[in-house]
Amino acid sequence: MSSSTLELARQLIRLRSLTPDDAGCQDLIAQRLASIGFALESVHCGDVSNLWARRGQAKPLVCFAGHTDVVPTGPLDQWLSDPFAPSVREGRLYGRGAADMKSSVAAFVCATEEFVAAHPQHQGSIALLLTSDEEGVAVDGTVRVVEKLKARGELLDYCIVGEPTAVSQLGDTIKNGRRGSLSGKLIVKGVQGHVAYPQLVKNPVHLFAPALAELAATEWDCGNAFFPPTSWQISNIHGGTGATNVTPNSLEVQFNFRYSTASTPDTLRSRVHAILDRHGIDYTLDWLHAAAPFLTAEGALVAAVRAAVRAVTGIEPELSTTGGTSDGRFIIDICQQVLELGPVNASIHKLNEHIELAALDALKSIYRQMLERLLLPA
């Protein structure tokens, strides 16, 4: 199999773009977009590279958003081939970023090239927003471009994020939203001492245990038609000196809420504090709000993407809000309709990451048909 999408995906995989290093991916894409009439704007923040590319000034503005950075490879001796030397075998393309998300980026570009060649006078505008800071801390990536666009009143009408959303086959799942993320770092204070003299100590583990049971058993909300119930989970817990005969002086607990639109950060924070206070715990608690939930309801974008998926794959996609956070959480600030659609996610961040060869051009076709449905007269 040979195609423009496959060849571009290979070129991108060869570039060792470990977060936050773009390694030249955006320059490669920018050259191709410039040749078909895109105006280019590079937004560099520290070590992070961002690209805003736009063709046209009219509305509606349809944007493809994604990232050129990838996660570390892990042990190289457990890869069947060099993760940065794209390999085709048994009907799959292997390499770091093959599924997350250099194939989607390649499909964005090739779909746009085909669409512009066929419809050079199309209505509206097309844009690409790319960052090299999605897999990292994500503070100098998409959010910085969004801030710049918002400051000058440049809003998007529709946005597709190329995250790998499929469960078992391309097109089976569209992400029409994501849960919010609220984390807490709790320090429960105690009094260290010898375990043989419990009357002289305050064991913070024992003090926290009843509150932990209540926090774990609490129903924070029931979710709604699009979101599952809000989940509270401990991610790390630590206390003690390592000795068997000394009680801890303090207990550190890190936890996270993945929360739905049925809750707010303020209500979740106040309920946690109320539980801890009710149990009489001496504590400090620092909060970090990493992402707000977002949801795109039925509308022009959902209809266009669903129709494109049906036309290319023959299946009816399911709308879902499961999974972690994505850069959609930033884009929703300047775009009311944001969806995520990309390849199967089973191998992402794993050894021997891959994508089915057949999915490459199918994904390009879905993206192109989406443009046709949104930018061509009915």
- Angle, CA of 222, 224 and 226, to the nearest 5°: 135
Measured CA to CA, the distance from residue 101 to residue 34 in angstroms comes to 22
- Give burial (CB, 10 Å; 0-12/13-18/19+) of 282: middle
Residue 323 to residues 45, 195, 320: CA-CA distances in angstroms? Answer: 28, 43, 9
Q: What's the pLDDT score for residue 377?
A: 83
Question: 92: which strand partners?
Answer: 89, 356
Q: What's the pLDDT score for residue 80?
A: 97
Q: What's the pLDDT score for residue 376?
A: 95
Residue 269 to residues 195, 221, 255, 256, 276: CA-CA distances in angstroms? Answer: 34, 14, 12, 11, 11
SS3 track for 251-302: EEEEEEEEECCCCCHHHHHHHHHHHHHHCCCCEEEEEEEEECCEECCCCHHH
Q: What's the pLDDT score for residue 1?
A: 54
Measured CA to CA, the distance from residue 239 to residue 242 in angstroms comes to 9
Q: Per-residue pLDDT for the chain (378 aa), expressed as one digit of tens each? A: 569 999 999 999 999 999 999 999 999 999 999 999 999 999 999 999 999 999 999 999 999 999 999 999 999 999 999 999 999 999 999 999 999 999 999 999 999 999 999 999 999 999 999 999 999 989 999 999 999 999 999 999 999 999 999 999 999 999 999 999 999 999 999 999 999 999 999 999 999 999 999 999 999 999 998 999 999 999 999 999 999 999 999 999 999 999 999 999 999 999 999 999 999 999 999 999 998 899 999 999 999 999 999 999 999 999 999 888 899 999 999 999 999 999 999 999 999 999 999 999 999 999 999 999 999 987
- Give burial (CB, 10 Å; 0-12/13-18/19+) of 183: middle
Q: Are 156 and 140 in contact (CB under 8 A)?
A: no
Q: List the catalytic residues.
A: 69, 134
Q: Say whether 152 sits in a helix, a strand or coil.
A: coil
Measured CA to CA, the distance from residue 257 to residue 173 in angstroms comes to 24
